[in-house]
Amino acid sequence: MAIEQTLSILKPDATRRNLTGEINARFEKSGLRIVAQKRIRLTMQDAMNFYKEHEARPFYKSLCEFMSSAPVVVQVLQGEDAIAAHRKVLGATNPANADAGTVRKDFALSIDENSAHGSDSAASAAREISFFFSSLEIVG
């Protein structure tokens, strides 16, 4: 297994309900290390740029409205097999399908308000990390 970095976003439903510490504790307990972190408020345009790959999907506009509705915490997680390890801790995108004990099973309100985002591949992780962070801001 290789050491990887992946992008994590704690979404507006998580920041509104003051859940960022509880969710990050799950990541850290699983062995992932937070090597970059900032709390920001996305504009609608920022969200549209970030989720551009979904622009043809019916949920694109509501997803971008939601992601710009309150602050988010964007962070880089590092660890062994970090992309898959992070997604395992998160659980399925739709909380109705998420395994017991996962972040989305325990905290998500719906498929839209699903508390956290994680990169789904090495190519996505590289694009998504560089969308939010410069190399100077990532410190292991």
d(CA 47, CA 60): 10
**64-91 burial code (b ≥16 CB/10 A, e <16):** bebbbbebbbbbbbbbeebbebbbebbb
Nearer to ligand CMP by C-beta: 63 or 76? 63
Active site residue 54: no
Residue with tokens 């660890």: 79
Active-site option among 32, 95, 117, 119: 117
The least CB distance from residue 116 to ligand CMP, in Å, is: 8
Nearer to ligand CMP by C-beta: 130 or 140? 130
Rounded (5°) CA angle 45-48-52: 145
Nearer to ligand CMP by C-beta: 62 or 140? 62
Which residues contact ligand CMP by CB under 6 A?
Answer: 54, 59, 63, 93, 111-112, 114, 117
The least CB distance from residue 51 to ligand CMP, in Å, is: 6
The least CB distance from residue 78 to ligand CMP, in Å, is: 19
Cα distances from 73 to residues 1, 96, 105, in angstroms, run 27, 24, 20
Nearer to ligand CMP by C-beta: 111 or 126? 111
The least CB distance from residue 110 to ligand CMP, in Å, is: 8
Q: Where are the beta strands (DSSP E) in 32-102?
A: 33-40, 72-80
Active-site amino acid positions? 117
